[in-house]
Amino acid sequence: MEAGVNNLALSLQVTPSEDVIWRNLQGESVLLDMKSGVYFGLDAVGTRIWTLLQSQHDLRAVLEELLREYDVSEEKCSRDLIDLVNAMAEKGLVQTAAH
Amino acid sequence: MYDILDYGRMISHSVRFHGYVEALRRSVKPGSVVLDIGTGPGIMALFACRFGARKVYAIESEPVIHIAREAAIRNGFAAQIEFIEGLSTKVDLPEHVDVIVCDLNGALPWCQQHLPSVADARQRFLAPGGVIIPKKESVWLGVVESPLSYADHVQAWETGHGFDMQAARDLAINTRQAVRLAPECLLAPPQCGVVLDFMQVEGPNSTAEATLVVTRPGIGHGLLVWFDCMLSDEIFFSNAPGYNKGVYGQTFFPWAQPVMLEAGDVVRLNLRWNLLANNYVCQWITRVLHQGDKTDVRASFDQSDFRSFPISLPSLRKGGETFVPRCNGEASIDRFILTAMNGKASVGEIAACLSEHFPAHFEARSEALDRVARISRAYSE
Through-space distance between the first and last CA atoms of chain A, rounded to whole angstroms: 9
B240: helix, strand or coil: coil
Other beta carbons within 10 angstroms of residue A20's beta carbon come to: 18
| Phi and psi, residue B372, nearest 5° | -65, -40
Cross-chain Cβ contact B311/A37 below 8 Å? no
Omega of the bond prior to B190 within 30 degrees of 0, cis? no
Mean pLDDT lowest among A7-11, B63-67, B342-346, B354-358? A7-11
Q: pLDDT tens-digit profile of B177-192?
A: 999 999 999 999 999 9
CA atoms within 13 A on the CB side of A35: 7
Q: From the candidates A19, A23, A54, A91, which should be mutated to test the interface with B, based on the most B CB atoms within 10 A?
A: A23
Q: Does A41 touch chain B (CB under 8 A)?
A: yes
Yes or no: say if B174 and B308 are a contact pair by the CB < 8 Å rule: yes
Q: Is the pLDDT of residue A2 over 80?
A: no
**B322 interaction partners in chain A (CB closer than 8 Å):** none
Give dist(CA A43, CA A64) in Å, integer: 20
CA angle (B215 as vertex; B138, B182 as ends), nearest 5: 55
Q: State the CB neighbour count (10 A cutoff) for residue B228.
A: 18
Predicted confidence band of residue B6 (pLDDT cuts 50, 70, 90)? confident
- Residue (of A74, A99, A80, A88) closest to A40 by Cα position: A88
Q: What is the pTM of this model?
A: 0.86
Strand ranges for B231-370 from DSSP E? 236-238, 250-261, 266-276, 279-289, 297-304
**Strand, helix or coil for residue B306:** helix
A17-93: CATH number:
1.10.10
- Determine contact, residues B273/B280, Cβ cutoff 8 Å: yes
Does residue A32 have a pLDDT over 50? yes
A-to-B residue pairs, Cβ atoms closer than 8 angstroms: 36
The confidence band for B245, taking pLDDT boundaries of 50, 70 and 90, is low
Residue B293 above 90 pLDDT?
Answer: yes
| Contact: B313, A26; criterion CB under 8 Å | yes
Asked if B304's CB is within 8 angstroms of A21's CB, the reply is yes
Q: Does residue B246 register a pLDDT over 90?
A: no
Q: Give the integer Cα–Cα distance in Å for A84 and B57.
A: 53
More confident residue, B215 or B10: B215
Q: Which residue of A has its CA nearest to B311?
A: A25
Per-residue pLDDT reduced to its tens digit, B195-218: 999 999 988 999 999 999 999 999
Q: What pLDDT was estimated at residue B316?
A: 78
Nearest CB to B313 within list A28, A32, A34: A28
Residue B15: CB atoms within 10 A of its CB come to 16
Residue A8, pLDDT score: 52
pLDDT classification of A3: cutoffs 50, 70, 90: very low
% of chain B at pLDDT higher than 70: 99
pLDDT tens-digit readout, B101-137: 998 778 898 988 889 999 999 999 999 999 999 999 9
Residue range A45-74: mean pLDDT, rounded: 93
Q: Using the beta-carbon criterion (under 8 Å), do B316 and A38 form an inter-chain contact?
A: no
| Number of Cβ within a 10 Å radius of residue B163 | 9
Task: With a cut of 60, say whether residue A1 has pLDDT above it.
Answer: no
Cβ neighbours, 10 Å, residue B77: 19
Which pLDDT value is given to residue A5? 41
Residues of B in contact with A30 (CB under 8 A): 311, 313, 316
What is the sign of the dihedral through the CA atoms of B42, B44, B45 and B47? positive
| CB-closest option in A28, A34, A41 to B320 | A41
Residue A87 to residue A40: CA distance in whole angstroms = 11
Answer for the pair B196, B136: CB distance below 8 angstroms, yes or no: yes
Calpha distance B46→B43 (Å, rounded): 5
ipTM value for the complex: 0.79
Per-residue model confidence as pLDDT tens digits over B58-81? 999 999 999 999 999 999 999 999
Separation CA A83–CA A5 (nearest Å): 10
According to DSSP, the β-strands at B250-261 and B177-179 are antiparallel
Three-state secondary structure call for residue B52: coil
Identify the residue among A24, A26, A32 best suited for mutation to test binding to B, counting B beta carbons within 10 A and taking the highest: A32
> Using an 8 Å Cβ cutoff, are B252 and B149 in contact?
yes
Stretch (H or E) spanning A22: strand A20-25
pLDDT band of residue A6 (cuts 50, 70, 90) is: very low
The burial of B367, by beta-carbon neighbours within 10 Å (0-12 exposed, 13-18 middle, 19 or more buried), is given as: middle
Per residue in B216-234, pLDDT (tens digit) is: 999 999 999 999 999 999 9
Taking the mean position of all CA atoms in its chain, how far away is CA B373?
Answer: 29
